[in-house]
């Protein structure tokens, strides 16, 4: 068994097809297939189910993947440590962010970090909070910025970057626009516009309503915050969003921006920077963490 066998296996599972994996690895597709078959022969079990449209791991493949990822990470750590001792910052760092976040949250610091450290491969991807947590736990991400109603899930450490109240955003001519506050029972009488399940904001809303024995009637779902607010401004329903979202330039330039109505009792969401418990493993990831959060250790 060689490291390239494990790298090919992990890449195929992550990319979903052998063709996509070969492109990412810059290796001919037949070569990837041959190396995977060699690994399966050596282990004596099939690791992948090869369908016409996608490749998925078998039960044995799923069992092998965590160890394969750990082995590849350990080898990369050795290379990173040597580079660090030589005074060079090299390696790889993968960062995730919620699809609902403004592009300014990570674009500037991650972009500046990548420009300052050309020897580091920096990857930035999007997903829901649930997806980002799964990628962190699987070792596919080093850091992520996502919303959670309370503390980060088990196995993760983090810091709160921002805490915001949720508000009901309604059209300027809506009868609710002049209200001082909106109770949960009144909120669920209207079609709601909000983020899909899996986002921290949606979890905070659903939890708050469930505490009153209520369930949201969601008419529109999207991970794009500006789209939610545009729909609310048109009177399509009530958008439940963090209060700062209404100050975004794209929202304020609308002919008639939506109006924020506080929720009573208040519901808050927290934006966290999170990483696996014990801290990011490689020096590149630790350096980026220090840039994003100077007092993090």
pLDDT tens, position by position, 127-172: 999 999 999 988 889 999 999 888 899 999 999 988 999 999 999 9
Q: What is the mean pLDDT of the chain?
A: 88
CA-based nearest residue to 164, from 269, 32, 36: 269
Is residue 98 a contact partner of residue 196, using CB atoms and an 8 Å limit? no
Residue 262 backbone phi and psi in degrees, to 5: -60, 155
Residue-range domains of the chain with CATH:
1-87 (1.10.10.10), 163-268 (3.40.190.10)
Residue 20: partners with Cβ closer than 8 Å, 6 or more residues away: none
Which has the higher per-residue pLDDT, 105 or 10? 10
Is residue 65 a contact partner of residue 57, using CB atoms and an 8 Å limit? yes
What residues pair up with 61 in beta bridges, in sequence order?
none
CA–CA gap between residue 190 and residue 116 (Å, rounded): 49
- Kindly tell me the burial class for residue 259, based on how many C-beta atoms sit within 10 Å of its own C-beta (0-12, 13-18, 19 or more): buried
pTM of model > 0.85: no
Is residue 205 a contact partner of residue 216, using CB atoms and an 8 Å limit? yes
Is residue 287 a contact partner of residue 116, using CB atoms and an 8 Å limit? no
pLDDT tens, position by position, 71-94: 888 887 777 777 665 555 677 899
Please determine, for residue 59, whether its predicted confidence score (pLDDT) is greater than 80. Answer: yes
């Amino acid at each position: 068994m060689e490291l390239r066998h494990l790298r090919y296996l992990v890449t195929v599972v992550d990319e979903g097809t052998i063709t996509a994996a070969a492109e990412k690895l810059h290796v001919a597709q037949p070569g990837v297939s041959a190396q995977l078959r060699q690994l399966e022969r050596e282990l004596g079990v099939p690791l992948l189910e090869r369908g016409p449209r996608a490749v998925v791991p078998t039960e044995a493949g799923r069992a092998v993947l965590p160890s394969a990822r750990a082995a590849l990470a350990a080898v990369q750590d050795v290379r990173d440590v040597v580079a660090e001792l030589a005074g060079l910052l090299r390696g790889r760092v993968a960062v995730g962010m919620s699809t609902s976040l403004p592009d300014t949250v990570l674009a500037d610091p991650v972009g500046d970090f990548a420009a300052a450290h050309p020897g580091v491969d920096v990857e930035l991807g999007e997903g829901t909070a649930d997806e980002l947590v799964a990628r962190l736990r699987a070792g596919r991400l080093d850091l992520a910025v996502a919303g959670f109603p309370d503390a980060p899930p088990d196995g993760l450490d983090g810091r709160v970057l921002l805490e915001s109240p949720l508000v009901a955003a309604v059209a300027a001519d809506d009868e609710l626009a002049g209200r001082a506050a909106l109770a949960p029972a009144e909120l669920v009488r209207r079609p709601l516009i909000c983020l899909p399940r899996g986002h921290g904001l949606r979890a905070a809303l659903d939890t708050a309503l469930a505490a009153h024995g209520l369930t949201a009637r969601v008419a529109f779902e999207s991970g794009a915050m500006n789209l939610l607010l545009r729909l609310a401004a048109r009177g399509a329903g009530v958008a439940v969003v963090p209060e700062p979202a209404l100050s975004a330039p794209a929202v304020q330039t609308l002919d008639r921006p939506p109006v924020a109505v506080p929720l009573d009792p208040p519901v808050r969401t927290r934006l966290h920077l999170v990483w696996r418990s014990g801290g990011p493993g490689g020096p590149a990831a630790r350096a980026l963490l220090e840039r994003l959060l100077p007092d993090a250790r």
